[in-house]
Structure 1
Amino acid sequence: MSAAASCLLTENQFLCSICRNVFTDPVTIPCGHNFCKTCIAKHWDKNVQCQCPNCKEVFDSRPHLRVNTFISEMAAHSSEQQVSKPAEVPCDVCTGTKLKALKSCLVCLESYCETHLEPHLTRSGLKRHQLIDPVENLEGSMCLKHDKLLELFCKTDQTCVCILCTVSDHKTHNVVPLKEEYEGKKAELGKTDAEIQQMIQKRRLKIEEIKHSVELSKEDADRETADGVQVFTALKESVERSQAELIDTIKEKQRKTEKQAEGFIKELEQEISELKKRSTEVEKLSQSEDHLHLLQSFTSLNAAPPTKDWTEVTVRPPSFEGTVRRAVNQLEETLSKQMKKLFKAELKRVQQSAVDLTLDPDTANPWLILSDDGKQVNCGNVRKNLPNNPERFYCGNVLSKQSFSSGRFYYEVQVEGKTGWNLGVVRESINRKGVNTLAPQNGYWTICLRNENEYGARADPAVRLSLKSRPEKVGVFVDYEEGLVSFYDVDAAALIYSFTGCCFTEKLYPYFSPFNIDAGKNSAPLIISPVNYTE
């Protein structure tokens, strides 16, 4: 069947009224209407009556389905033409299912499938129309001024133009074929898409990083919770045990007192019984008329009965003084052991953030002596002639080369043999050319030793520290985001002091001040030590 003949039928005549698609195995029922064989069979399977879906005619029995060969051929021909896909230009004339356009007409400003293109190929008046490869939105593809196809691109004005525009408004402009500019812009879009994909990948990696941080945080939280539960459980058990022991001690003292009193009372009651018996005998004898009997019995009855001298006998209430205090002291010892265990675990965790530091000679005061490896510093007797660069301290201080503006870091400094020192972290912008008050508001978070045994935290106001032992190695831990700076006695696994609630907005530098040599007593250096992890 020719394409011209197929144009005599509307497109809807190729569509099944049930599924709205081109017929598949079309059949005709007695009323004359056509359906896909499967569609009408399923329709009747679901309904009690065999009724035509279009005209509603009811059939007494289920009709025999006969293939409509004419519709089959027409549907087969129609199906040979491709249905328009999303990226393809559809036919402007097709109704219902849009077929793929083969050509676009620059005169009619419409696109046509094979069937609807037939008139432009056969009619003399339409044959003169200019046909091009299918273009979507033809009206937008035409020059409004010259009614010509926009097939060039003006790079000067960054706009699409037609061939006539190049000899008028855009005569001296840089004009290139539309395809050339298209390829260039497509390459740019490819580059842009690659950049976008890279940005997407970075953000996916950031999501993974954040998720990993949350997992680590949960692990830390679970571990901290477990440690806390363990400590408080042990403390609770210790309190309950100490309370039970205290109550038992008090009860035992009271039991002994009651037992002693019961013994005395029993003994006194026995003596009272004996005395009552003697009293009865004396009274009976005093009433006797027998002179001889009274005289013979008088000596034995008149003598004092064998009793105990109770004058000095007392029951003293037990002394409970110090009982509670001793129980609390014992509890304190238990708590101290638990705290030491806790600090040991804490120190072990913060040591995982250990960093390798070296001293920065460009920041060192001229009186300071730095070792060649940048790990030791002490005060000398001679002032070196060094350039007064902006980084260098006026006072006897030095910073590390390394700085930190996020995360956590930890390092250890040996202070053994020194009578004075100052350690901690400082912000980058501190005044290095004058004498400063070493306090957080001035950018210093440090602790110090003065006069051999005076330890203090350079807070505002300053805090005097009472330490149980003299630290020989000090650990410094910083959590930038948490705003925390903690100092540890490494050997004792004990917390010395913590600055909390700090607000860090700049780079932080580890800070070292060995103090002057104090007539040789403080000549030992401060030494940045490798971290030996706490067991």
Structure 2
Amino acid sequence: MTTPVNISRHLQCPICKNLLADPVSTICGHTFCKGCLDKHINWSEPQCPLCQELVTTKPSVNEAIEALLREFHQTQLPNLDLFCGERDAIPCDVCDEHLTFKAVKSCLICSLSFCDEHLKPHQSMPRFKGHKLVKPVEKLDQRACNTHGRPLELYSRREERCICTLCVKTDGDVIPVEAERGRRQAVQQNTIEMMEKIINQREDKLKELKESAAKYQTLLEKEQQEIQKVFAALMETLMETERVLLNPLEEGRRCLEKEMDEKTQQIQIYILKYKEIINSLHHTKSEEDDILFIQSYPAVPAEFTDDWTVSIDTELNFGTMRNAKTAFMAAIETHLEKLCTVEIRRIHSFSVNVTLDAETAHPNLQVSTDSKEVRDTGESKVIPGSPQQFDLVGGILGKPCIMSGRAFWVVEVGYKVGWELGVMRDGANRKGKVSYKTSEGYWAIVLCGQSMYGALEDPPVQLQLSSKPRKLGVFVDCEEALVSFYDMEALLHIYTFNKCSFNGAICPYFNPHPNKDGTNSNPLVICPVNQTDISV
């Protein structure tokens, strides 16, 4: 067994009896503080204070002893980490107030916090075996009963608070604190699972949101490219029209320059000729012989008889301008129609489920059981109608009525030879002879006579369509006060009523037209509107 040795006495200076400071050793082997040895030599003979041997050289620092002193000082320093000096550290309640160590455990029974040294009885003595030790906690007095000063070990369900054993009532619903903790932990776990489920739902929703944003971003980029492509074509058309109009002017300019060059040369030739005649006249002017003067007199040419004005027509050819204008406007119309696909793609987001209101149908009309089709039976029926019915015109309204916002629906007209489609102001006249005018609350387009299309404006406007539409889209924008119609197969815009005076609710309006000879027996069909149906 190793016996500990106190080496501090071997590290003392023989002069000052304290631990060595800047230790120096003489040639005789004795060690002193540097300051102590210097004072001794200055005050007496230069010899060793212990053995009186002469010190002939200046002693040097003993590095070995200096290193030993540093290690000795380190072993004598207390562990600062064990002291309670940190801001949030909990002190030991048993330590001396002048030297307090940090607590490592708190006892809920004793209501005290202990450092490592003062915790040892709780760890070794049997009587502390039932005491509950936890991580150091502040305000242990809050864990004791304010009435009895005893630890709070029980939980009263009735009073919903922690109590001590002396607070127990015979009729109280009391359980151990550990049991209540177990119950609350179960509730806590359920709460955690519920919150995790909510988080997962929110993350799924966020994923859907990002996917939707990416989808719409792609759609926006596609529409932007389509619009840029159309306007690039428009700019090319505009530049081509400019070239067509400027070419005659450029050709006139070249002709003008050519004629100017030719006539300039001719005039310059005449000028030279006249100058020669003038010189000849000056020469004969000094002739003294009269006969020779007369005989040598040069012939003088007459004045210019040519038309020296510029005769080039520099004005624009009016026929060319009109033709260019017509071609340019047709090209603009063609290119802008390409934007209709973008417009139709957008209005699909405002589609509504329109159904037919059989209570408003003319007696001659037959409505399907799903309220999606209507046809004229071709039979004249005299049935007392309700106030909501059309009694003379074969019309029927749709549901729902549109009060605000936007709405879109599609109607299949097929190969019918006559029909009317649009919207009607709620409360507009539907009895007797109806006046189809915007001022009377009707905004509709019509096919009659198999091939005559028109917009029921005031007065009516004939529509020139390049193809016969079989599916018509109807779009209403209450804020913009407009009603638009589209050919859903050709993806073309047909007509738009602007500045509509709705003045309240409007309802979808349908009229399959009479089926007198069986040629107009096909129904009008309200189609389900799906974005995937559009091939754009």
Query: Normalization by structure 1: what TM-score?
Result: 0.56
**Aligned equivalent of 1:147:** 149
**Aligned equivalent of 1:468:** 464
Query: CA, structure 1 residues 421+364, in 2 after alignment: closer, same or farther (shift >3 Å)?
Result: farther
**Aligned equivalent of 1:183:** 182
**Percent pairwise identity:** 23
Deviations 1:247-279 (A, max 9, x none): 12222245446657877898999999999999x
Deviations 1:55-80 (A, max 9, x none): xxxx8747269988x979x99xx99x
1:113-512 mapped onto 2 (5 Å cutoff): 115-119=117-121, 132-134=131-133, 136=137, 137-167=139-169, 171-256=170-255, 315=311, 317=313, 319-322=315-318, 323-344=320-341, 347=344, 349-350=345-346, 360=355, 365-367=360-362, 368-371=365-368, 375-380=372-377, 396-399=396-399, 411=410, 413-414=412-413, 416-417=415-416, 419-423=418-422, 448-450=444-446, 452=448, 453-455=453-455, 467-469=463-465, 471-476=469-474, 487-496=485-494, 512=508
Alignment-mate amino acid for residue 454 of structure 1: G
**Aligned equivalent of 1:7:** none
Contact 1:104 1:112 in 2 (8 A): no
Contact 2:350 2:406 in 1 (8 A): no
**Aligned equivalent of 1:515:** 511
Query: CA, structure 1 residues 363+408, in 2 after alignment: closer, same or farther (shift >3 Å)?
Result: same
Q: Distance in 2 between matches of 1:204 and 1:485?
A: 41
Q: Distance in 2 between matches of 1:121 and 1:240?
A: 98
**Aligned equivalent of 1:25:** none
1:422 is displaced (CA, Å) by: 2.8
Contact 2:512 2:523 in 1 (8 A): no
1:142 is displaced (CA, Å) by: 1.8
Q: Distance in 1 between matches of 2:123 and 2:269?
A: 146
**Aligned equivalent of 1:63:** 67
Alignment-mate amino acid for residue 63 of structure 1: A
**Aligned equivalent of 1:112:** 114
Deviations 1:369-388 (A, max 9, x none): 334666522355578999x9
Query: CA, structure 1 residues 104+181, in 2 after alignment: closer, same or farther (shift >3 Å)?
Result: closer
1:34-113 mapped onto 2 (5 Å cutoff): 61=63, 63=67, 98-101=103-106, 103-106=107-110, 109-112=111-114
1:175 is displaced (CA, Å) by: 3.1
Contact 1:412 1:475 in 2 (8 A): yes
**Aligned equivalent of 2:523:** 525
1:133 is displaced (CA, Å) by: 0.9
Q: Distance in 1 between matches of 2:361 and 2:471?
A: 26
Q: Distance in 1 between matches of 2:498 and 2:158?
A: 62
Deviations 1:436-469 (A, max 9, x none): 9xxxxxxx9x952247443259xxxx99777431
Alignment-mate amino acid for residue 332 of structure 1: M
Q: Distance in 1 between matches of 2:429 and 2:158?
A: 61
Gaps of 5+ in 1: 1-27, 33-58, 80-85, 279-283, 294-300, 437-443, 503-507
Contact 1:350 1:410 in 2 (8 A): no
1:397 is displaced (CA, Å) by: 1.6
**Aligned equivalent of 2:40:** none
Query: CA, structure 1 residues 407+488, in 2 after alignment: closer, same or farther (shift >3 Å)?
Result: closer
Query: CA, structure 1 residues 412+451, in 2 after alignment: closer, same or farther (shift >3 Å)?
Result: closer
Q: Distance in 2 between matches of 1:489 and 1:268?
A: 69
Contact 1:411 1:475 in 2 (8 A): yes
Query: CA, structure 1 residues 432+364, in 2 after alignment: closer, same or farther (shift >3 Å)?
Result: farther
Q: Distance in 2 between matches of 1:176 and 1:188?
A: 17
**Aligned equivalent of 2:47:** none
Q: Distance in 2 between matches of 1:186 and 1:475?
A: 61
Alignment-mate amino acid for residue 534 of structure 1: S
1:330 is displaced (CA, Å) by: 2.5
User: Tell me, what secondary structure is at the counterpart of 1:514?
Assistant: strand
Alignment-mate amino acid for residue 488 of structure 1: Y
1:129 is displaced (CA, Å) by: 8.0
**Aligned equivalent of 1:15:** none
Alignment-mate amino acid for residue 399 of structure 1: K
1:110 is displaced (CA, Å) by: 0.6
Q: Which one has a bigger Cα radius of gyration?
A: 2
User: Tell me, what secondary structure is at the counterpart of 2:67?
Assistant: coil
**Aligned equivalent of 1:55:** none
Q: Distance in 1 between matches of 2:163 and 2:443?
A: 76
Query: Normalization by structure 2: what TM-score?
Result: 0.55
Query: CA, structure 1 residues 489+309, in 2 after alignment: closer, same or farther (shift >3 Å)?
Result: farther
1:339 is displaced (CA, Å) by: 1.7
Alignment-mate amino acid for residue 227 of structure 1: E
Contact 2:259 2:310 in 1 (8 A): no
Query: CA, structure 1 residues 271+487, in 2 after alignment: closer, same or farther (shift >3 Å)?
Result: same
Aligned residue pairs, count: 417
Alignment-mate amino acid for residue 104 of structure 2: L
Alignment-mate amino acid for residue 163 of structure 1: T
Q: Distance in 1 between matches of 2:71 and 2:249?
A: 109
Query: CA, structure 1 residues 479+319, in 2 after alignment: closer, same or farther (shift >3 Å)?
Result: closer
User: Tell me, what secondary structure is at the counterpart of 2:219?
Assistant: helix
Alignment-mate amino acid for residue 250 of structure 2: K
Query: CA, structure 1 residues 416+274, in 2 after alignment: closer, same or farther (shift >3 Å)?
Result: farther
User: Tell me, what secondary structure is at the counterpart of 2:464?
Assistant: coil
**Aligned equivalent of 1:20:** none
Query: CA, structure 1 residues 484+454, in 2 after alignment: closer, same or farther (shift >3 Å)?
Result: closer
Q: Distance in 2 between matches of 1:413 and 1:399?
A: 17
User: Tell me, what secondary structure is at the counterpart of 1:194?
Assistant: helix
Q: CA RMSD in A?
A: 6.2
Q: Distance in 2 between matches of 1:187 and 1:496?
A: 67
Contact 1:366 1:385 in 2 (8 A): no
